[in-house]
Structure 1
Amino acid sequence: MLPKIGVFAPLLAAIAFANPFGHSQVYVAPRQVWNNATKYEVKTPPLTTNWTYTIGTDPWQEYPRPQLERSQWKSLNGIWKYENASSPDAVNSPPTDLDNGSEVMIPSCLESGLSGIQSNTSFASWFLTNFDVPSDWSGEKVLLNFGAVDYEATVFIDGKQAGFHRGGYFAFTIDITPYLSNNGSFATRQNGAHELLVFVHDPTDTAIIPVGKQTTSPSHIFYTPCSGIWQQVWIESAPATWVSRFDVAAGMDGKVDVNVISIPEGSAEAVEVEVKDKGSGKVVGTGSGTSNTPFSFTVSSPNLWSPSTPTLYDITLKMGNDEISSYTGFRTIEKGEVNGVQRPLLNGKFEFLFATLDQGYWPDGIYTPPNREAMIFDLQTLKDLGFNAVRKHIKIETALFYQACDALGLMVIQDMPSLPPKGDSFLPNPDQQSEWERQLVLMINQQKSFPSIVTWVIYNEGWGQLYATTNPEFNLTSVIRTLDPTRLIDSTSGWRDHGAGDFHDNHHYAAPQCGTPFYSILSTPFDPSRIGFQGEFGGLGHNVSADHLWLVPQAVNSINQTYEISADLKTYNYRAHRLLDELREQTELFACSGAVYTQTTDVEGEVNGLLTYDRRVLRPDVEMWKKDIGALYDAAAGRA
């Protein structure tokens, strides 16, 4: 670990130093052997948080999928075995010495201290655990679930390939029953448990895949990558015909739209849905239909969801012998004209969207927060300051993140993870573009039932955006509207804006240019037919001591690239007050309908967060920021 030294100036001197792969249905020779085994312990990262050394070896025990929850389930999180693999082709040569691998924490990023590995870059990896199936699940399906694996996962059960998944941000489920059973009873290995072996291939930004801010060469606004099984793993029991997806959308008029996807595909099973008051458990509405066919029903006079009243209702879904617990919130988000200006309307009223750019990075966990408490700490900090939204920036979070936003009343502007922003020579070919679009559809279908999500963002600042001969955002906007007509679409957040979507989204540091008759380079003149929005602004930096910095040379050496740096917190808050006041004036004078302040926390070499990267220092003068943010909402109300 690097020593703690000085503050910013002496610190710089002191530390100057997709292609698819083949698959096999069974193990094949030659086989590898685990080596360099180590017992699990948290590796000291370049920076810690208050949670780093508190997670234990049984992390994230909350049910991972709160909108499709079954009562019979078992977490497979905890200590697994790990081995680095030589190449993607190693999938054909699984290891055999299953007891001598290094220990790794699941879920985690292999590059993180919390993983116990803290590798530099992990392009190919093996993961192993054993599990048993509760005896009272006999006769049921056994479903194996992964919250997310970055990037490609090949799954083996007891030596046979059971499934394959591509996409580093998406949950997937494998029916592993055929690989466990023998004449109707579960077969077990000699130690009484089944073997789960997962091969992961993650090219990060060496290939043109959805990667967000991850890079193999971290510096400035691009950060340490995340490889491996970074979200939860669990098994659960289900009947022969089971619910694989439950889409629900509830509007301000009380209408509830439901679509239940069942397995086997194409089945048409009777479905019953009950909506219950969360406090009393009283049934307030019911509906029925069949699986794989959308249907609707109405709840009379529901209490509406909003940032000030984040009311949620419990749902019970029954399809044959499969019973699911879920929830929803009644709200309507749309674009509408208010006094001659296009506005975002929440439940029929102009709602000024004020968010932070939320990267979702942690110094000890990289993509994976240490625990749920830490994850909610960030969101509660924003809520306490007066923000009513977050822009989840080119990353997709665990379902528990969106559940927390639902419960706290934070609207979510959800980005699609971008392709690597390496310039025009690294733009996608037709196959790569098709795969990125496939994963865009996965994002919409996976996240669209969370009431807190109000906007989808397709492209960020032109990263991976084709533009020379075609503008794909127009067609993609239409695709998203078909998949989810209940939300707004920000087709291009910043830069290459050709007129698609509901927002005219300008990025400008540090001062805002929100729905104004003036603009700067890389932007376009304001389009009054769309919502005026400041997709990014601010970025005010502030020096901190080495105790709160990500002590990695490339990161420290890039601190001076921060958009603007203040020498002390008094100056930082003075500058913030001026920017927030300017945004208020633009809301009063022009067509500004919302903005995204950069950013929630510092990340590696960026020191422009409301919180430092370790979450130990809150920069804002809380009362000043609350007053200034309140003035934004008052200005918007004055225009409504």
Structure 2
Amino acid sequence: MKLGFLKSCLALVPVLISLAQGYEIKNLPLDTPWTHTSGTDAWPEYPRPQLQRSQWKSLNGLWNWKEGAGADEVLMNIVPLPDTLAHEVLIPSCLESALSGIQKTNMTYSWFARRFEVPEGWTDNGNRVMLNFEAVDYIATVYVNSQRVGDQVGGYWHFSLDITEFLLHGNNTLQVSVFDPTDAEGYQIPVGKQALSPSHIFYTPCTGIWQSVWMESVPSQYITQLDVAAGMDGRINMTVGTSGGASNSSFQVTVADTRGNRVAYANGTVNRPFTFVVGSPHLWSPDDPTLYNISVTMGRDKVTSYTGFRTISVGEIDGVKRPLINGEFFFQFGTLDQGFWPDGIYTPPNREAMVYDLQQLKDLGFNMFRKHIKVENALFYQACDQLGLLVIQDMPSMPANGMPSDSQQAEWERQLDILITQHRNYPSIYTWIIYNEGWAQRTDYYPEAALTQRVKQLDPTRLVDATSGWHDHGYGDWHDNHHYANPQCGTPFYSTQSTPYDPTRMAIQGEFGGIGNNVSIEHLWNVKAAISTVNQTYEIDLTIQDWNYRAHLLLSELRDQVEKFACSAAIWTQTTDVEGEVNGLLTYDRRVLRPDVDQWKADIQALKDAGAARNGKAKKLRTQKLRLPAS
């Protein structure tokens, strides 16, 4: 073991994490039904369902925290010992949230620390100990026993570090330095809707370790990644990525159905694309989200995963370009889903709360939603796979009020690659969005031209919406219109901010609706600056009856556009209220459901029926072959 020389030094320094200022949920402007239900046993589920191992240990729960002094601490390797971190913080959570126990803003520099022990036997037989983070916003520098083991740039991406050589017997210390500028002047980084000065459609930011942390024991040669794409023809394209020492090893894969019956068994070579077939698979779709379990064994390493068999393509029906799922067109209708919470900000209070939002959409009849310029944890996408909700996934945008330099653009594009490679295995994701409404979209050239091709190279199995909203130059599979409150989907009329419908591409109403209904203070984000922006909502309807009436008119207008024109999909704004916005199906606290359920179900079914009436015999223009890029 390294750091043997530190033992005597550490023994002289009391590690008094337990003496930190005790954890408690802070007073918050608004809570949810789940705010006080989970305690400090935060997110106990295994965090990575598509690469799961049996030997693991959660590091979620209470850590210690203090504000950092600046970049020099990291540059000079000045790593504070745990007893100097005087506040307990709940991990995972955003520092700005009440659930964190901190609830502070503008925390550009922070330190997090906790003690941990490695379970007995985890390093036997040459096994390695991997430390895994689901997401840290924005730059994380990770130390074990005050020794730097790795860094990560990007607030939405999971990463793993081999910490074996840095471990001591018995107690160990994990320390993480975090730098998060959010949208501070001079910084153009992927932030989505986070803002240091929240206002109306820009919200409270998230800083720190906001998704799960865990460790696991792996053999010296182990599986690092599974890429799986399963098509409606039963073909599974798979690449098993491994650590360097296993570059030419073989693996065995087993596929089982929901009853546990083995439906396929095959052998392949790691780090090379591999194809095998499952005969007559039960296909995945929103109406029937059937999943198959996968087990992969390489030497002493075994991981489990899952997939769904489905094919996404573009077809032509009666002269109109249509999105096809398993060769069929059906109307795709969903909400703009922001993924913010009054108690946890970016981090839902628990899995039950997270799934509640999705179940509400499913119960109303939605079959899709747009995950808006935010990336969720892996359990979120697993829930979409299980429930049968198609996902349009945005790349988190840079701040809307700035324009990136060449180096900032290159870094954002690097992280776009990560979005695709880390999320292309989820059956529910069917479209990638590159730009939203021109936010930080370079105008001196058309970056979306090359980026559309890049996304297609990384993932040829899905659709690409290059520019959702405007600054559309004809790239991607979708022509995407934004208009409030009325839709303009595939129509011969359009607003000056959009462009005329392009019949060479499919038509989607990327945003519409946005109608609001104010509520009493017990359901509002009780922050004066937020309440003062409520009147910026696109439209305010005085009563809930008026709100439902207006929604019925707008959905009827959309139905007309499905019947008469080329509309294939639409996004209603939005799933929930967020801070100063009161245009959600649900209030921000998730306690009030605005829709008249019977009316909305009928209106959504009418949209589906209108789409079905347009579903003549499909002349398939192309079916994107399910293949993976060369490793």
Query: TM-score, length-normalised on structure 1?
Result: 0.92
Of residues 563, 580, 583 in structure 2, which corresponds to 1:608?
A: 583
Of residues 98, 111, 114 in structure 1, which corresponds to 2:96?
A: 111
Q: Which residue of 1 aligns with 2:48?
A: 65
Residue 287 of structure 1 and its aligned partner are, at CA, apart by 2.5
* Contact 1:457/1:489, CA 8 A, preserved across alignment: yes
Q: Does 1:582 align with 2:569?
A: no
Of residues 136, 149, 159 in structure 2, which corresponds to 1:162?
A: 149
Q: Which residue of 1 aligns with 2:618?
A: none
Q: Does 1:465 align with 2:445?
A: no
Change (3 A) 1:39 1:299: same
Per-residue CA deviations over 1:110-137 (Å, capped at 9, x if unaligned) read 0000000000221110000111111121
SS in 2 for 1:44: coil
* Contact 1:34/1:96, CA 8 A, preserved across alignment: no
Q: How does 1:255-334 map to 2 (within 5 A)?
A: 255-264=235-244, 267-279=247-259, 281-334=260-313
Q: Which residue of 2 aligns with 1:451?
A: 427
SS in 2 for 1:46: coil
* Contact 1:81/1:127, CA 8 A, preserved across alignment: yes
Q: Does 1:135 align with 2:120?
A: yes
Letter in 2 for 1:101: A
Q: Does 1:475 align with 2:460?
A: no
Of residues 150, 153, 160 in structure 2, which corresponds to 1:173?
A: 160
Residue 407 of structure 1 and its aligned partner are, at CA, apart by 0.3
* Contact 1:246/1:261, CA 8 A, preserved across alignment: yes
Q: Which residue of 1 aligns with 2:188?
A: 208
* Contact 1:224/1:366, CA 8 A, preserved across alignment: yes
* Greater Cα offset, 75-84 or 260-269: 260-269
C-alpha separation in 2, matches of 1:357 and 1:630:
19
C-alpha separation in 1, matches of 2:81 and 2:436:
44
* Greater Cα offset, 260-269 or 459-468: 260-269
C-alpha separation in 2, matches of 1:405 and 1:399:
10
C-alpha separation in 2, matches of 1:94 and 1:483:
39
C-alpha separation in 2, matches of 1:506 and 1:630:
22
Q: Which residue of 1 aligns with 2:201?
A: 221
Q: Does 1:49 align with 2:29?
A: no
- State the percentage of identical aligned residues: 60
Residue 90 of structure 1 and its aligned partner are, at CA, apart by 2.6
Residue 193 of structure 1 and its aligned partner are, at CA, apart by 1.3
Per-residue CA deviations over 1:236-295 (Å, capped at 9, x if unaligned) read 01111111110101000100000111111781210211110122x111012321111111
Of residues 240, 252, 256 in structure 1, which corresponds to 2:220?
A: 240
Q: Which residue of 2 aligns with 1:23?
A: none
Q: Name stretches of at least 5 consecutive residues in structure 1 with no aligned partner.
A: 1-25, 181-186
Residue 324 of structure 1 and its aligned partner are, at CA, apart by 0.5
C-alpha separation in 2, matches of 1:271 and 1:472:
40
Per-residue CA deviations over 1:470-513 (Å, capped at 9, x if unaligned) read 10111111111111111000010001100000000000000000
Per-residue CA deviations over 1:14-36 (Å, capped at 9, x if unaligned) read xxxxxxxxxxxx9x9xx9x9999
Letter in 2 for 1:244: T
Q: Which residue of 2 aligns with 1:230?
A: 210
* Contact 1:34/1:101, CA 8 A, preserved across alignment: no
C-alpha separation in 2, matches of 1:625 and 1:567:
19
Letter in 1 for 2:171: A
SS in 1 for 2:456: helix
Q: Which residue of 2 aligns with 1:199?
A: 177
Per-residue CA deviations over 1:617-639 (Å, capped at 9, x if unaligned) read 00000000000000000000000
C-alpha separation in 2, matches of 1:136 and 1:165:
29
Residue 178 of structure 1 and its aligned partner are, at CA, apart by 1.3
Aligned length: 598
Q: Which residue of 2 aligns with 1:6?
A: none
Of residues 527, 542, 561 in structure 2, which corresponds to 1:567?
A: 542
Q: How does 1:469-508 map to 2 (within 5 A)?
A: 470-508=445-483
Q: Name stretches of at least 5 consecutive residues in structure 2 with no aligned partner.
A: 1-5, 616-631
Of residues 400, 405, 418 in structure 2, which corresponds to 1:429?
A: 405
Per-residue CA deviations over 1:436-495 (Å, capped at 9, x if unaligned) read 000000000000000000000000000111122x10111111111111111000010001
Letter in 2 for 1:541: G
* Greater Cα offset, 306-315 or 259-268: 259-268
Q: How does 1:67-86 map to 2 (within 5 A)?
A: 67-86=50-69
C-alpha separation in 2, matches of 1:61 and 1:47:
25
Q: How does 1:519-534 map to 2 (within 5 A)?
A: 519-534=494-509
Letter in 2 for 1:156: Y
Structure 1 residue ranges, 4+ long, deviating more than 6 angstroms after superposition: 33-36
Letter in 2 for 1:159: S
* Contact 1:34/1:95, CA 8 A, preserved across alignment: no
SS in 1 for 2:321: strand
Q: Does 1:620 align with 2:601?
A: no
Of residues 593, 613, 626 in structure 2, which corresponds to 1:638?
A: 613
Q: Which residue of 1 aligns with 2:107?
A: 122
Of residues 572, 580, 585 in structure 2, which corresponds to 1:597?
A: 572
Q: How does 1:9-20 map to 2 (within 5 A)?
A: none
Per-residue CA deviations over 1:305-345 (Å, capped at 9, x if unaligned) read 00100000000011111100100000011111111100000
C-alpha separation in 2, matches of 1:571 and 1:483:
46
SS in 2 for 1:433: helix
C-alpha separation in 2, matches of 1:53 and 1:267:
48
Q: Does 1:514 align with 2:489?
A: yes
Letter in 2 for 1:238: V
